[in-house]
Amino acid sequence: MKKWLLWILILIMLLIPIYTNAYASKVIPGGENIGIYIKDKGITVIGFYNNKNTDLNVGDQIIAVNDITVNTIDDLVATINSEVTNNQVKITYLRNNKKYETILHLDLVDNIYKTGLYVKDSITGIGTLTYIDPESYIFGSLGHDVVNGNTKKRIEVDNGYIFKSKVTSIRKSSDGNPGGKIANFNQNIKYGNISKNTQVGIYGTYDIIPQKELIDVASNDEIRLGKATILTTLKDNTIKEYAIEIKKINDKSINKNLYFEIVDDALIKDAGGIVQGMSGSPIIQNNKLIGAVTHVIIDNVKTGYGVFITTMLKEGEQ
């Protein structure tokens, strides 16, 4: 072969893109119950009492008092107390990502200024760990986003962490009335930091990788209708595997890709079906991780939805 032709072939080979998975092919499976704390970006108005401030709505985010930035409720209270004049302060707030200003009228009651607002700057709850990438230490959990229960808006992560949480009991589910895990919190024992809250889960970095056997990640075209299992915790910190049946596969949805039914008698006996706190429970089929539990169907609590694990992994690596 002539040397110039060889160089052309080498150049062509270098220009051809090499396609690889943008996510790990093996991960550490979860199933552990975890506590979740997320500090929101800003202070969200969630309600009113004795309200004189008609400009503000539920869902507005207060970001400044008299042009002084505030990030927490403690900041808000301290700044109001130091800046108040004639029982009022200027408030800067966000609504649909647009900035507005208004005057907040205050009542002085027993030497304490009352705003007439109910506000929130963070959320604490529980969920189930889905996976940890053993190379990057990135973890994924929940399979859906964390929203403010009052405003129904997704919380924007300023900072956050996952921590130790032990299940003490189960409030059983029944059709029309989903139950939930009841758990103790120990926020002094942190497992990792939260950096993202997305439609397909929360993500961050895990501090100390647990010594567990890795599991293969299934591609979407490997998933089949039929038998599968979930890993979850119903008591203390003990992970158990429970039988489910994959009924439908939908590759068009964001996080409702797997429609499944609980068929495990022990899980039905102990929990009634899917309960709150199971979100993120890994779904296993043919010894591969295929997805995570995301939603319970309220009218039939033995059924629910799961997200593809590939979707979670891709989001986690971005």
DSSP 235-290: EBTEEEEEEEEEEEE-SSSSS--EEEEE--HHHHHHHSS--BT-TT-EEEETTEEE
- Among the candidates 68, 92, 115, a domain finishes at 115
Is there a contact between 32 and 128 (Cβ–Cβ < 8 Å)? Answer: yes
Residues 85 and 151 in one domain: no
pLDDT score of 17? 47
180 and 228 both lie in a single domain = yes
Give pLDDT tens digits for 244-253. 999 999 999 9
Residue 16 has a pLDDT of 44
Average pLDDT on 80-105 reads: 92
Mean pLDDT for the chain overall: 91
Active site residues: 144, 264, 279
Confidence of residue 6 (pLDDT cuts 50, 70, 90): low
Q: Tell whether 86 is covered by a domain.
A: yes
State pLDDT tens for residues 43-60.
999 988 876 666 899 989
Q: Is 317 exposed, middle or buried (0-12, 13-18, 19+ CB in 10 A)?
A: middle
N- to C-terminal Cα distance for the chain?
44
Q: How many domains does the chain have?
A: 2
Backbone angles phi, psi at 53, to 5 degrees: -110, 80
User: What is the per-residue pLDDT across 179-197, written as a single tens digit (0 to 9) for each?
Assistant: 999 999 999 999 999 999 9
Q: Domain check: are 135 and 211 in the same one?
A: yes
Torsion angle, alpha carbons of 107, 111, 114, 118, to 10: -170
Mean pLDDT of 265-294: 97
Question: Which residue, 64, 81, 115, sits at the end of a domain?
Answer: 115
pTM of the entire predicted model: 0.87
Q: How many CA atoms lie within 13 A of 184 on its CB side?
A: 8
Would residue 262 count as lying in a domain?
yes
* Residues 290 and 222 sit within 8 Å (Cβ to Cβ): yes
Q: How sure is the predictor about 234, in pLDDT bands with cuts at 50, 70 and 90?
A: very high
- Shared-domain flag, residues 245 and 186: yes
pLDDT, tens only, 76-87 = 999 999 999 999
Alpha helices in 16-130 (DSSP H): 73-83
Beta bridge partners of 131: 29, 140
Decide: 203 and 269 in contact? Cβ < 8 Å: no
Tell me the CATH number at 57.
Answer: 2.30.42.10
In a domain, 18, yes or no: no
Residues 171 and 310 in one domain: yes
Q: What's the rounded Cα separation, in Å, for the pair 33 and 127?
A: 6
Domain that includes residue 175, residue range: 23-38+126-318
Both tokens of 218, joined, read: 């299934």
109 plus 130 within the same structural domain: no
Nearest Cα neighbor of 250 from 296, 311, 203, 197 is 311
* Domain-located, residue 5: no
* DSSP H or E run through 15: helix 3-15
Same domain, 34 and 54: no
Separation of alpha carbons 201 and 220, rounded Å: 18
